[in-house]
Amino acid sequence: MIGVMFVCLGNICRSPMAEGAFRKHVEAAGLGAHFRILSSGTAGYHVGEAPDPRAQKTALGHGVDISMLRGRQLVKEDLASFDYVVAMDRSNWTNIQKLYKRGHTAKTSMLLEELPDAGTTEVPDPYYGGDAGFEHVWSLVDRAGARLLARLRRAHGL
């Protein structure tokens, strides 16, 4: 099973949306049995909380229900139990690297490495903005999730 962990700061906006979008692509391809998909935050501000209502509304508007997800904090053991740990921005990536220890096998990356045409390397945090910011984030994580799945399918012969 291929483990993919999406990471943002609080695990209530960007990473749950990325998890939902990626899961949508995985399930549409009939590959659900091949993947373990989760999201987390580098900070523990929202552990146990549902995603931001605006993130839920945006995802649901695209046919993806993320209401059952709950915030969790990234822990060093995740870097040993997931194959891919995917950050939303440079700060998240830096915090992931602080947890990284010798012997961990997770490949770490920034999600928007999948979208070189996006004009940015970071998924912006929509928390302090309005609905348009959440729609923009959905557009980015949805397109990047599709490309990530295509890359992982090639890498794992799926």
Question: Where exactly are the structural domains of the chain?
Answer: 2-151
pLDDT digits (tens, 9 = 90+) for 122-148: 999 999 999 999 999 999 999 999 999
Strand order of the sheet with strand 35-41?
A: 35-41, 2-8, 84-87, 107-110
List C-alpha distances in Å: 136 to 9, 32, 89, 124, 139: 18, 26, 15, 9, 5
Q: Which of 52, 78, 89, 125 is catalytic?
A: 125
Q: Which of 13, 14, 23, 89 is catalytic?
A: 14
Active site residue 8: yes
The full length of the chain comes to 158
Would you say residue 16 has pLDDT above 90? yes
CB 129, CB 107: distance < 8 Å = no
CB 87, CB 93: distance < 8 Å = yes
pLDDT digits (tens, 9 = 90+) for 101-125: 766 788 999 999 999 999 999 999 9
Q: What angle do CA 124, 127, 129 make, to 5 degrees?
A: 85
Task: Just give the CATH number of 2-151.
Answer: 3.40.50.2300
Q: Which of 8, 23, 72, 89 is catalytic?
A: 8
pLDDT digits (tens, 9 = 90+) for 60-94: 999 999 999 999 999 999 999 999 999 999 999 99
Tell me the pLDDT of the chain averaged across its residues.
96
Whole-angstrom distance, CA of residue 146 vs CA of residue 59: 15
Active site residue 14: yes
Radius of gyration of the chain (CA): 14
What pTM was computed for the model? 0.96
